[in-house]
Chains A and B, each alone.
Chain A
Amino acid sequence: MFRLLRVELFKIFSKPRSYIGFLAIAAIVMLLEIALYIDGKSYISFILQSLEQSFAVQGNLLNGYLVCFIILQTLIVQMPLLVALVTGDLISGEAASGTLRLMLSRPFSRTQILTAKFAAGSAYTFVLLLCLGVLALGGGVLLFGEGDLIVLKSDSLVILRSNDVLWRYMAALSLAFVSLLTVASFALMLSCFTDNSIGPIVSSMAVIILFTIIGTLDVPLFDKIKPFLFTTHMIIWRNLFDNPIDKLQVYTSVAVLIFHIVLFYTIALIHFNRKDIYT
């Protein structure tokens, strides 16, 4: 099984496409950090303008923790797309290149092969997220230093003391991993249904974009649908920066996401085990 996983990891990391995600993350993070380094003070002034009319705000406002928070918020839309780019290709890519039948002729069950592919996709997702965490948090703290975190909300500000922030980031990145794993399992499921690699990638992206738009629109008609969309629960990492944290909401969202992962993986497994392979 581990040999199979090693092979799958080798396949993922030998494809140039897999590095698009890393490049995109590095570019976005560096661009945002440079922009905030040069012009961050005016951004902070814009946010605090109504409060600065009444108060003098003192302290290191533009610090690494805030920069990391801004980056995470910006990348929340892009990250699932980058994950789908790789995981949507895991089965259909093999089918398209004509290697799936050959692969299934090896002494491994289909369940083992699919599990190895899912594990490899999860490992890729983890490395991608780790890269984001190191660049955003590490780079941010290195460039801007530490300080209290200003959590931006449209109608309020939550300011968390610096000694209360790091564990929240670790927990938020763990939650983001569960969220991205949902996308990975969804893309893998779609990948089992087609024999071309573009279809599942584009379909996954389309579904994520559609669900995100439904979640963003403030229309009463969508209010009943929103709790059932996995994209609604994918931004639960933000709740970890509330004070106090709504633990029930966090647990509920994690449970919903895990349910989706299991559901998508099970559907993929059932279909893949029954599938007639022609290529």
Chain B
Amino acid sequence: MRYIFLLFFFPFLVHAQSNPKQLIEAANQRFAKVISYSAAINLNFQIPGVQLEPINGKVYYKKPTKFRIHSKGIIFLPKQNPYYALQSVRDTNSFTAVPSGSEILNGKSTTIISVIPTANSDDLILAKFWIEDARQLIHKVQLTTKTNGTITVEQSFGLFANYGLPDVIKFVVDVAKFKIPKVVAMELNSKSKKTDPENLQKGTGEITLKFSNYILNKQLDESVFEETKK
């Protein structure tokens, strides 16, 4: 009887644990409903060696990869757009997904899935997704890239969770210590500071994007995605 019970339920137990591609696909399906959006954005920066106040702006997105933030001042952004991880796993044949356990994140039960791209040409070496079991929302992604080291993206959701659109995205990026010659900075009469060993540990910068007033799937002019003057 016990064996019959196990035989009956085994496929379901295996399904939850060993079908990570379907979980990723489900998360992708949510976001696939978004063709374009515009929203108000607030950017907050915690970058070692850079003192930069928060700033507001407007953000535009258009499927598949167009993403642009308009703000009146200087902003630092991650090199990848916020949906880089999702875009990398759009084609389910282009990667191998391995379940790597589970974790409670922001009070939600998540499944951890490691993704290894099959093609060697991609910048992505390894991605780790924390996907909420109940709503198939990606709460955290850890990307290991060839060019930019490790990038962690943490997301929290609100009103637009049905579309997979987060209210807050926090990027944690590896940062090299900022240093320019004193002659270039023209720092006369300034005493050189002794290197604080604790400062050397601080090799990560954080950028937090807070989204509000999403307007979904409205026609966006191409000009909003054009490069601004540097």
> Which one of A55, A61, A77 contacts B173 once the chains associate, using CB atoms below 8 Å?
A55
Highest count of chain B CB atoms <10 Å: which of A44, A148, A162: A148
Query: Contact string, B60-102, partner A, CB cutoff 8 A, digits 1/0?
Result: 0000000001011111111100000000000000000000000
* A74→B53 CA distance, assembly (Å): 27
Q: At the interface, yes or no: B47 with Cβ under 8 Å from chain A?
A: yes
Query: Are the C-beta atoms of B228 and A54 separated by less than 8 Å?
Result: no
Query: Are the C-beta atoms of A157 and B191 separated by less than 8 Å?
Result: no
User: How many A residues face the partner with a CB closer than 8 A?
Assistant: 44
User: How many B residues face the partner with a CB closer than 8 A?
Assistant: 44
- On chain B, the residues within 8 Å of A154 by CB distance are 179-182, 184-185, 187, 190, 192
* A47→B49 CA distance, assembly (Å): 13
**Count, A-B residue pairs, CB within 8 A:** 134
> Which one of A55, A62, A147, A223 contacts B78 once the chains associate, using CB atoms below 8 Å?
A55
Query: Are the C-beta atoms of B50 and A51 separated by less than 8 Å?
Result: yes
> Which one of B74, B173, B182 contacts A57 once the chains associate, using CB atoms below 8 Å?
B74
> Which one of A46, A153, A161 contacts B73 once the chains associate, using CB atoms below 8 Å?
A161
Q: At the interface, yes or no: B121 with Cβ under 8 Å from chain A?
A: no
Q: A57: nearest residue on chain B (CB-CB)?
A: B76
Q: At the interface, yes or no: A226 with Cβ under 8 Å from chain B?
A: yes
Query: Contact string, B31-53, partner A, CB cutoff 8 A, digits 1/0?
Result: 00000000000000001011111
In the assembled complex, the CB of A16 is this many whole angstroms from the nearest CB of chain B, namely 31
Q: Contact residues of B with A, CB < 8 Å?
A: 47, 49-53, 55, 69, 71-79, 148-149, 173-182, 184-193, 205, 207, 228-230
Chosen A-B contacts, 11 in total, with CB atoms closer than 8 Å, are A47-B180, A51-B47, A54-B176, A55-B173, A56-B76, A58-B75, A60-B230, A150-B74, A152-B180, A157-B51, A226-B189
